[in-house]
A and B are shown apart, each in its own frame.
Chain A
Amino acid sequence: MSANRFNAHARLGVGLGLRAPHVAQVLAERPAIDWFEVVAENFMVDGGRPRDTLERVTACYPVIPHGVALYLGAAQGLDRAHLARWKALVARVRPPWISDHLCWGSVDGGTSHDLLPLPYTPEVARLCAAAIREIQDTLEVPFAVENVSSYAEFRGSTMPEWAFLAEVAEKADCGILLDVNNVYVSSVNHGFDPRAYLAAIPAERVAQLHLAGHAAQHGFIIDTHDRPVAEPVWQLYAETIARLGPTPTLLEWDAELPSLAALAAEAARAAAILATAGGDAR
C-alpha cells in the first residue's frame, strides 16, 4: 500500500499538472480534480500572476510542487541559492511531499534546462543521495526522487538503472516518484525489460506515480508529454498498482495541451485502475 511516510500517508488519487491555459477554468469552475502538481520553478517568483495563481489553487486543492532544476547528480553539488528558493516555496504551499528528478543539468554555473542522464555507479549514487539528504534536512518535507526517461547510456555505468534508483533512495532514505512512462520509454531505448525494472523498485518507498504520453521514432521513443498515455504504459501502470496498491498518480501533459475535460477523462482511466486495486484511493 503506497500511503507511506514518503507521501505523508496521503491518499490523493489522480492529479493533473496545472498548466497556464487551464488556470482560469480551474479557478472559476473548481472541477473535481483530486490534486494538482505544479512545476516548482514556475512559481519561484516574488509576485504577479504566478504567485496569485499558486495561492488561489492551493486554497482549493492539494498542490504538490515538482522540481526540474535541483539537479541531484550535478558533480559540483546542489545549488544552495536554488535550495533557498525551494525553502520559500515549501513555506508558501506546505505540501505533503515534493519531488525532482534523478539527473544532472548544470555545470560551472551554466545550465542545459534539461534532465540529463547520469552514469549508474555506486559513487554517483552516493553523490545523489547526499544531495537528497541535504534537501530533506533543509526543507523538512518528504522528498521523492523521479526516474527520468533517457536516450543515452554511459560507458562508465556499472549497474542497471533500477538498481541505481533503489540504491539512491535507500541511501538517502527518501521516497520514489516512479514514472511508469519513463520506465517504458527507457526500456525501449536501452533494450531492457520494463517489468524487471518495476519489480526491482522497493514498493515501500513509492510515494507517487507519473503517467504521460510519448512519441515513437525510428527505433527509439521520445518522452514528449503531448498525447494520451500509450496502451503498453497503461498495462504497466495497472500491474504496478496491483503490486503497490492505490498510489497517488499524476497525469502529465505539457505540449499540444487538450481541454481540461479531455485531461480529466484520461485521469478517470487511471482512477478506475486505482479503484480496482484497492478501492477508492481518495
Chain B
Amino acid sequence: MRADELLAMQRAFLAALREPLAGASRARTDLPARSSVTSPAFAATAEAWLTASEALDPVARLELYHRQYWYRLLDSLADDFPAVQRLLGAPRFAALVERYLADVPPHTFSLRDTGAGLAAFVAARSAEVPHAAHVFDLARLEYAWIVAFDAPARPSAPAAALATTPLALQPHLTILALHTAADTSWRTQTRGRLRPATDAPSRFVAIAREGLERRIERLHPAAFTVLHAIERDGDLGRALDAAAPQLPRRRGQALVQTWFQAWTARGWLVPRA
C-alpha cells in the first residue's frame, strides 16, 4: 500500500468514525433516536478498505470502531461535566455533546482536553441550549476544575517585585465572572437533577489548587477586576486603577493589601512569561 493510499484510508476511516451513531449502536446511548442506518459514505468506506470475517461484514467491523469512538467520547465528557449533565438530563446532555463533537472533534493527545471548547460552543448557540446561561457557567466551572487538577504551578512573583514585574496569573488559577448562581448549585446540589438557576447579578469566583487540593472561592468584584486586568496585560498599576471605582472609599486600601497578601502567599501571581 502506497503512502498516499494509506493516508487516504486513514482520512476516510476517521471521517467515518466521526459520523453520528446510528441504529443499535445509537440505541445503547442516551442520544436521541434517529435514522437506523449508517450513511452511504460510511458503508462505502467499509467496503472499500475492509474485508469480511466469518461473523461480520465490513460495515459491521467498521461499526465496532465507530461505537468505541463515540462511547469513549460521550463517557469522557459525562465524567468531565457531571453538573452540566445533571442540569440538562442525560438525553439533552448527550444531544449537546454530539453536536459539540461534530463541530469540535478531538484534536489533542489527551481526552482531558476534549471539553475545552464546550462553554464557548454553548455561548455561540445559546438559543438552542436549554438553560444556556446556567450551562455556560457550569461548563466553565467544570473545565476550570480540570485545569486546577493538573496545570503547572510556576514560581510566584516575590511580593517586593510585584510593582515592577510584568505579572500573569498562576496557570492552575481560573477566574470567572458568572451570570447565574452556578457556583452555589454546583457546590450544594451534588446529587440528582440540578435545579436550573435563574440569572443573577454577576458573581466572581476563583478556581485554583492549593497543595494538591482544588478550591473554589468567591472574589470581591474589585478583586476580580484586578486579577482580570493582570491576566489581560500584566501591569499592576493599570489593574489597580481599573478596580479603584469598585473599592469602598474608607477601607479600599486595606482590602487591596489583604488580597495581595493572600494572593502572594498562595502563589497566584507569577512573572509574565
Contacts and interface: CB of A to CB of B under 8 A. Distances in A.
Interface of A: 41, 44-52, 69, 73-76, 79, 82, 85, 104, 106-114, 116, 119, 121, 123-124, 127, 151-156, 189-191, 218-220, 222
Contacts of B2: 123
Nearest to B172: A47
Contact of B53 (A73, A110, A114, A220): A220
B62 A219 contact: no
B65 A151 contact: yes
Most buried by B among A151, A154, A219: A151
Nearest to B153: A47
Interface in B12-71: 13-14, 17-18, 48-51, 53-56, 58, 61-62, 64-65, 68-69
A50 B212 CA distance: 9
A101 B79 CA distance: 26
A114 B68 contact: yes
Contacts of B55: 189, 218-220
Interface string B244-270: 000000000000000000000000000
Contacts of A153: 50-51, 53, 61
A47 to B, nearest CB: 4
A168 to B, nearest CB: 14
A44 B111 CA distance: 12
Interface of B: 1-3, 5-7, 9-11, 13-14, 17-18, 48-51, 53-56, 58, 61-62, 64-65, 68-69, 72-73, 105-111, 148-153, 171-172, 209, 212
A70 B65 CA distance: 19
B107 A220 contact: no
Contact of A74 (B10, B150, B171): B10
Contact of B150 (A45, A111, A124, A190): A45
B73 A113 contact: yes
Contacts, number: 134
Given A41-B110, A113-B111, A190-B53, A75 B150 contact: no
B14 A48 contact: no
Contacts of B149: 48-50
Nearest to A79: B109
Contacts of B171: 46-47
A46 B6 contact: no
7 contacts: A48-B153, A48-B209, A52-B212, A124-B1, A152-B62, A155-B49, A218-B55
A145 B108 CA distance: 22
Contacts of A82: 109
Nearest to A106: B14
A110 B109 CA distance: 9
Contacts of A154: 1, 9, 49-51
B1 A119 contact: yes
Contact of B11 (A107, A111, A114, A116): A107
A56 B53 CA distance: 47
B65 A152 contact: yes
B116 to A, nearest CB: 14
The 9 closest A-B pairs by CB, nearest first: A219-B55, A46-B152, A75-B7, A45-B150, A48-B150, A152-B61, A47-B152, A107-B10, A69-B109
Given A116-B13, A155-B51, A75 B3 contact: yes
Contacts of A46: 150-152, 171
Given A44-B109, A47-B153, 14 more contacts: A47-B172, A47-B209, A69-B109, A106-B14, A107-B11, A108-B11, A114-B68, A119-B9, A124-B1, A152-B62, A219-B53, A220-B56, A220-B64, A222-B64
B9 to A, nearest CB: 7
A113 B150 contact: no
A80 B65 CA distance: 26
A111 B108 CA distance: 7
Contacts of A124: 1, 6
Most buried by B among A46, A75, A85: A75
B110 A109 contact: no
A126 to B, nearest CB: 10
A243 B76 CA distance: 40
Contacts of A51: 150
Contact of A151 (B5, B17, B61): B61
A85 to B, nearest CB: 8
A111 to B, nearest CB: 5
A41 B14 contact: no
Nearest to A67: B109
A44 B110 contact: yes
B150 A49 contact: yes
A111 B105 CA distance: 8
Given A46-B152, A112-B14, A156-B49, A41 B69 contact: no
Contacts of A189: 53, 55
Nearest to A43: B150
